[in-house]
Amino acid sequence: MVNAIILLIMAGCAAAQFLKNTFVQSFGTLISALIAAFISLWWFEPLSDIVIKQEMIVDYARVVCFGMLFIIAFAVLQTAAMALTKQKIDLGLMPERIGRIIFGLLLGYVISGVILIGASIASLPADYPYPRFDSSRPDVKNPKKALLNPDGFLSGWFGLISSGSMSGSQSFNVLHAGFIDELFINRIPRNPNLLTDPHGLAMQQKSIWPASEPLKDAEGKAIQSNSNEDVVIVRIGFTGKADTSFYGGQLRVLCKKKDEKPRLGGKAVTVYPIGYIKSGNEVKQFKIGEQVSPEAKQQNNVPSVDFVCYVPKDYEPVAVGLKANAITEAPSMVTAEQAKETSSASQQTAAPQDVNTDGK
């Protein structure tokens, strides 16, 4: 169904551009839509945070802000583009016709991507706007894609721009690595609660270290590093009103190559914890679609849980995200021996380094 809608939108835009606009105007409309899509991706999170704080349309704030930003930005840019292209430029009959059709198809492609992303941001069941994952057994390494992958195209290109010279110290490709997958996985629960306390995650110093002692699951099977991945323990603190009950896929650990600067710039990969340490070296495993309710233990007066992750070789966690709106920067990885050192009363404890999404 969604593939037919994409084709219909592309065909409709091609027909409209062919009948109404010139070659130059069609090109201007395409660029306006592309820039408007990037603006909506850049600003919908900080704007929706403001709306949510006012307790307005909380459940729909993110998708409404995303849609309104696109509509307003596109309207302004399109008006400016039309004003600049009033004078007709004749490129010849065939270039005009072919160009209008091509730009119209591309315009429909961009608009389809915006619609798919908007629908994925909304609190809809995970099978909408299309079934990217099998909700019963999601395979994050093999997502299904819509025809021509317009949502992946938009988020991918925006990520490239964000991770480049315009990114500053924070990159969309780090804060939301695998953005489209994140949107779908967050909605795998039947009745997903997509939001939590945006300041509810805390990462203290010496809270990430490679597992040095053999870890075992409930059946006594060893959990150990392999040729491609290391077993890493990530201690995550839950403060304020943060949910300590969530689904496995709603907690993500964002990892980058070691010593790559800036820490939140460039590009990251998403790692999902496989479980948490229940006691001693026993790991309570869970799956992406499984509800998790770990018992937090006090660490420097912060309720914390030690999660176990498979992290790619030569990578380290740089941030942790919970649900759709909580992200905090992670401290540098330490050795297992350093992590076990007794904390003195004067030991520096990192306050929650909430990521400001304004700076993507």
Does the global pTM surpass 0.85? yes
Burial class of residue 220 in the structure, from the number of CB atoms within 10 Å of its CB (0-12 exposed, 13-18 middle, 19+ buried): exposed
Q: What is the DSSP letter of 240?
A: T
Whether the CA torsion 48, 140, 311, 193 is positive or negative: it is: positive
* Residue 24, C-beta contacts closer than 8 angstroms, at least 6 positions apart: 85, 89
pLDDT of 356 reads 63
pLDDT of 229 reads 96
pLDDT of 164 reads 58
Residue pair 179/261 in contact (Cβ under 8 Å)? The answer is: no
Half-sphere exposure of 346 (CA within 13 A, CB side): 0
pLDDT of 86 reads 82
For the chain (360 residues), the mean pLDDT of every run of 10, in chain order, is: 97 97 95 97 94 88 97 98 85 92 98 98 93 91 96 95 66 95 92 87 94 90 92 94 89 95 93 95 94 91 95 97 95 92 43 55
Question: Domain coordinates of the chain in residue numbers?
Answer: 2-162, 201-359
